[in-house]
Structure 1
């Protein structure tokens, strides 16, 4: 399995340590999510050719969630292994790809103006022990953004985080009965065509139902198979939210990290009620 990280061809050579992962939200059983205004896209500006005399590139890369007025939660694999001078932005727009297209047309060759037009610039903080290990990858990061600048552009209510070990308290039986929803900007599931599989689409905030599969100390595995009525995550959904209705309230319980390559079967997500995630987040937000 690989991270659900959208890697444009121009940057792939620079990101050899980051394997591509799962997406857009899948086309099956998925719908637009204009009401999930706390869910946003990570936009990145970077030097894609090693020549400082030529313009940087700017593109959306991953998904994430505002967990307070100035903290955007995402995945550490989205904010590491970039060239020196990388700049990170957060957009809470519903269609970040359309916003990028319009801004690029209005500001050709000026990625900084594009970033300022569509998003708010911030500072990334990765878990200091990322990439960890298979038991706990510590694949968690935040981007701190100016609260006033975000509020001036978008209206949103920050996501509710879980209390300590809430998923563990529910246990498999309780989690089987819990509604889950994944959201993000990722690409579509694999499509067969000349030259092999492609993952079209992406850049629009979508949501889809998913169902509980399994739980361990770090990970929640969620089923995204179509016959069960599920949708699911794909490339570019990394760092994005997996919500569960817990105690009658929509709660951000995990973030998308990886899954099966074609984006058909499983979304592997990082628990936010676990000790490592909570210890990291406590440096930036007030935890329940």
Structure 2
């Protein structure tokens, strides 16, 4: 996790490469070819409460920082770079609000100077478990984490159906032609692609759950590259979508096949996502969720 913290974790990332080291970006949904996703009730925002000035007499900061997905009634799947390298005492909340930014703004107005009350108002507090092998290496970053939340508390707040995880090696079994013909969808809360303006690029928006089509580009042992080119009818991910879902429609069913990890800096070209059907991802998830 980068040291500089903004509401969308706006931290530059290196140019994309499947052999790159573990990413520190947090990607999000672009403005083009994207639509709201109120029906994706299993997709949520990771909210963090932390001390950002080393002064215990001042209130902690609280904000949404990443995206993620409920994969059973008490397990929220996200990225390891979303849950690691925080100050001591960080607290995590899972929110399934469609518009988490508005929920945070309303809670902050109702509970000024009380970030813990804001956290409770917008989400359910949980315990993060980060892959101990993170940040791994270029072949496998191990950039995966879960936040375990009380199932009763989640059920009391939101109605959702957990995402369907893939079977072992399911993407390999589709083969190149099958992958090319597969419809992929990315979802999350992140910001939009870079806009040019005074002072350089900015990434507007963020905080609302959106979805967009993406196209298959390449597959390797632990990564998928997905195309975000607008001229091909695709949308894509940008800052704030890290940990969020990338679905594939397989046999008529929507399967959560990967999580967003990184992408190109302006968020125009490629979403690089971590495969959930790969052995290391499945080994990490096995203690927390029943795998198909």
Q: TM-score range by the shorter chain?
A: over 0.9
Runs of 4+ in 1 over 3 A off after TM superposition: 3-7, 9-13
Distance 1:9 1:44, change over 3 A: closer
Q: Mapping of 1:108-187 within 5 angstroms?
A: 108-187=112-191
Deviations 1:207-266 (A, max 9, x none): 000000000000000000100000000000000000000121100000000010000000
Task: Tell me, in whole angstroms, the C-alpha distance in 2 between the residues paired with 1:274 and 1:225.
Answer: 26
TM-score between the two structures when normalised by the length of structure 1: 0.94
Q: Is the 8 Å Cα contact of residues 181 and 209 (structure 1) preserved in structure 2?
A: yes
Of 201, 204, 212, which aligns to 1:200?
204
Q: Which residue of 1 aligns with 2:6?
A: 8
Q: Is the 8 Å Cα contact of residues 65 and 240 (structure 2) preserved in structure 1?
A: yes
Of 96, 104, 108, which aligns to 1:104?
108
Distance 1:21 1:151, change over 3 A: same
Of 84, 87, 103, which aligns to 1:83?
87
Is residue 28 of structure 2 the alignment partner of residue 24 of structure 1?
A: yes
Q: Mapping of 1:261-276 within 5 angstroms?
A: 261-276=265-280
Give unmatched runs, 5+ long, in structure 2. 12-21
The DSSP-based 3-state class of the residue aligned with 1:188 is coil
Q: Which residue of 2 aligns with 1:229?
A: 233
Give unmatched runs, 5+ long, in structure 1. none
Alignment length, in residue pairs? Answer: 282
The DSSP-based 3-state class of the residue aligned with 1:182 is strand
Is residue 233 of structure 2 the alignment partner of residue 241 of structure 1?
A: no
Supply the RMSD in Å over aligned alpha carbons. Answer: 2.0
Q: Which residue of 2 aligns with 1:283?
A: 287
Of 220, 230, 233, which aligns to 1:216?
220
TM-score between the two structures when normalised by the length of structure 2: 0.93
Distance 1:6 1:274, change over 3 A: farther
Task: Tell me, in whole angstroms, the C-alpha distance in 1 between the residues paired with 2:52 and 2:8.
Answer: 6
